[in-house]
Amino acid sequence: FSDMECGPPRINDKLMRFFDHCEKFLTEVERNDTALYHVEAFKTGPEMQNILKKVAATLQVPVNNLNADLIQVAFFTCSFDLAIKGVKSPWCDVFDTDDAMVLEYLNDLKQYWKRGYGYTINSRSSCILFQDIFQHLDKAVEQKKRSQPISSPVILQFGHAETLLPLLSLMGYFKDKEPLTAYNYKEQMHRKFRSGHIVPYASNLIFVLYHCKNAKTAKEEFRVQLLLNEKVLPLANSQETASLYDDLKNHYKDILQSCHTSEECQLPKVNNTSDEL
């Protein structure tokens, strides 16, 4: 790699932090106190109240001294120590597996309603990033067709879970038949939307473009494979492990052609005109 020259990384927050620049998302979800209704309702629901009573008894403190947010802090302290340092925190002793599943659901509810399928704008605001990925793939395909060297054989973009979850939702991954709510915890025990599995630490989504030399037709020349967290992610439309590039573009043509972030993210205009008396 000694002959490779890398300039300083370019920061493009409009692309990687699209949610910070989407007025509709900011107004209707991020700054809207009622958007996370199901998260707040679950905090006071029977599953969380049960944990509150158990932890209060273990710590020998009045249950009124505890609330769901404090329980979450204790659980995160346990899980962060385990994940980052490989150390079992004393806070882990106040929870059992059933408690962990309830607290996982509480976190999934937040991700679902703020970054996932809860509101259409959550994922639609990510179409700027989705389109950018396909522009890079298109460019590589065109260069290969013209027998030119690929100008950018590898493109790396860095963001957070909040960047990846909306993108995967836009693509139709990990969607359950019923929405996650404060009231269907038991029904959602086998849900697909498990944010800890989808976007763990160092999560990553890779688009791999293949050029097939033995292709019989021009359409079969280019194929794409997706990997999520370094494991093959079957295509949402066919469950195949790889797709013809043209077929993949066709499957997502609505997003590629008609999803315009500026329009998607515009707030509906308020009609202030009133009839004079």
In a domain, 2, yes or no: no
In a domain, 1, yes or no: no
In a domain, 158, yes or no: yes
Which CATH number do you get for residue 154?
3.40.50.1240
| Residue 180 identity (one-letter amino acid) | L
Sign of the Cα pseudo-torsion (179, 180, 181, 184, in order): positive
In a domain, 53, yes or no: yes
Residue 274: what pLDDT? Answer: 52
Sign of the Cα pseudo-torsion (15, 161, 10, 157, in order): negative
152: its two tokens: 């950018």
In a domain, 113, yes or no: yes
In a domain, 7, yes or no: no
In a domain, 270, yes or no: no
Residue 8: what pLDDT? Answer: 83
Residue 275: what pLDDT? Answer: 52
| Residue 16 identity (one-letter amino acid) | M
The alpha helices in the chain, defined as continuous H runs, are 13-16, 23-25, 37-43, 46-59, 68-80, 97-114, 120-124, 127-145, 161-170, 195-198, 245-251, 253-258, 261-264
Could you count the other beta carbons within 10 Å of the beta carbon of residue 164?
A: 21
Q: What separation in angstroms does the CA of 3 have from each of 7, 152, 156, 228, 261?
A: 13, 15, 19, 30, 39
pTM for the model = 0.92
Domain with 166 in it:
13-265
In a domain, 123, yes or no: yes
Q: What is the pLDDT along the chain (277 residues), one digit of tens a residue?
A: 456 677 788 999 999 999 999 999 999 999 999 999 999 999 999 999 999 999 999 999 999 999 999 999 999 999 999 999 999 999 999 999 999 999 999 999 999 999 999 999 999 999 999 999 999 999 999 999 999 999 999 999 999 999 999 999 999 999 999 999 999 999 999 999 999 999 999 999 999 999 999 999 999 999 999 999 999 999 988 899 999 999 999 999 999 999 998 899 999 876 655 555 4
The number of folded domains in the chain is 1
